[in-house]
Copies of this chain bind each other. A is one copy, B any other.
Amino acid sequence: MKRGTSRDIRTANRYEVLRQIIAASPTSRQELAAATGLSLATVATLVGELLDLRMITEVGFEDSAGGRPRGLVAVNASGGALIGVDIAETYVHVELFDLALNVLARAEEDVRPGESLPEQLVGHVAAAVGSVVMQAGIEGARVLGVGVSVPGQVNRDTGIAEYAPNWDWHDVPLLDLLTEHIAYPLYLDNPLRAVAVAELWFGAARGRGDAVVVTLGTGVGAGLVLGGGLHRGVSNSAGEWGHNTIVLDGRLCHCGNHGCVETYVGAPGIMLNLRELSPGSPLLHPEDQTATIAALAQGMREQDPVALKVVRDTARYLGAGIADLVNLFNPEVVVLSSWVAAALGEPLVAEVREAVSRHALPRPMAATEIVLSLIPSDPACLGAATFALEGALQSVGQRNAKRTTPARSRTAPPS
């Protein structure tokens, strides 16, 4: 059982301060102290650290009410670059961010069906990473790290992709393979947790103690933010909500079970909801999830009854599932994220809210907001980049160069 040390407090505070600066750049030390609840002195030293690291810079002054003006600090956007890699079933998406987490460059590689060898995927990743670095015209030294999100179960310490259902991977030493092509520090995890971290740092979960980040994409997950940090579980596979049973003896899932959440509210599940309701619907683009979800979104805007019904049905399943999460965790906020949520947008969320409040207990429900993610682009990329950012900040706390007594010369002393 890991014990907390006082250094962890420092790390958490460092994260907190940087988060706040990124969120509200430029800002003053005063504001930071108020927002984080830390003392002015502590904020000042943390700000000093970040200044030394060149992650932030002083950008001028702000009038105070009659006294010495407040010094303002802001993220030093050009102080470094972070790369986020989102490996999915059909594509590899890479984005390069500056330290303000603006996207400086993007690259996307299609993964053709059948391309399932780790080496093939790694090739795509390496190509795309090379591309974004070139596009952005960044010198390599300024890349602080590369975060990689890969579906399935990942051991982030050993860097092994223990199991990826899409490609039937078992214990692939992905980190080692990537290291051969990519010279930057690498951080590996899965999309569920990447998205949760993105929401925790930059999205709707920021500043919340307990939050659940529901990712709605091809797969489905529930990232758990507990006590201000990501809950990983004992083998880094917490949050695998997609294969929870929502309908006993329901639809067959590729995992082998029946009635998994994913089969009703994942993109393929939504397509099935549509097909069952209206088999010949023009909204349905077989073999193309993205197009079908987009068509549904468009249909909703046009008040198409079929689209509305499908979304309502989906929201009903989702609502029942999320109600379970609300009862269990009693979170401050449930964030709906990932591309399906982004596409279906606020109308979906409204239906979900409705459905959740039918199923959840009133008291926990009253304490919980259900909101749409605020993150505009691919949250898995952003989250992966955030892993790299966390990694860069972590190493600051590293014990700086262990002091050793100077080695005595092997030759006879001159005495």
A328 touches B222 (CB 8 A): yes
Indicate if A108 sits at the interface (CB-CB under 8 A).
no
Docked CA distance A4–B7 (Å) = 11
Contact A4 to B1, CB < 8 A, known contacts A233-B331, A240-B364: no
B239 touches A328 (CB 8 A): yes
Query: Binary interface profile of A, 85-100, with partner B (CB < 8 Å = 1, else 0)?
Result: 0000000000000000
Interface centre among A9, A162, A240, A241 (most CB of B within 10 A): A240
A245 touches B323 (CB 8 A): yes
A361 touches B37 (CB 8 A): no
Question: A323 to chain B: closest CB distance in Å?
Answer: 7
Indicate if A141 sits at the interface (CB-CB under 8 A).
no
Contact A234 to B209, CB < 8 A, known contacts A6-B6, A6-B9: yes
Indicate if A107 sits at the interface (CB-CB under 8 A).
no
- The residue on B at minimum CB distance from A5 is B9
Q: Chain B residues near A337 (CB, 8 Å)?
A: none
Stretch at the interface among A128-136, A143-151, A224-232: A224-232
Query: Binary interface profile of A, 1-38, with partner B (CB < 8 Å = 1, else 0)?
Result: 11111101100110000000000000000000000111
Indicate if A41 sits at the interface (CB-CB under 8 A).
no
Copies of this chain, whole number = 2
Query: Binary interface profile of A, 350-392, with partner B (CB < 8 Å = 1, else 0)?
Result: 0000000011011110111000000000000000000000000
With beta carbons under 8 angstroms apart, the residue of B9, B207, B241, B328 that contacts A241 is B328
B4 touches A234 (CB 8 A): no
Indicate if A210 sits at the interface (CB-CB under 8 A).
yes
B331 touches A234 (CB 8 A): yes
Question: A6 to chain B: closest CB distance in Å?
Answer: 5
A residues neighboring B (CB under 8 Å): 1-6, 8-9, 12-13, 36-38, 153, 162-163, 207-210, 222, 224, 226-228, 231-241, 243-248, 255, 257, 320, 323-325, 327-332, 358-359, 361-364, 366-368
Known pairs A237-B367, A240-B328; list 8 more (Cβ under 8 Å). A4-B4, A163-B363, A224-B328, A226-B231, A238-B328, A245-B246, A245-B320, A245-B323
Pairs across A and B, CB under 8 Å, 19 listed? A3-B38, A153-B363, A210-B233, A222-B328, A226-B231, A227-B231, A232-B330, A235-B363, A235-B366, A237-B361, A238-B328, A238-B330, A239-B328, A240-B361, A241-B328, A243-B361, A244-B323, A245-B323, A247-B248
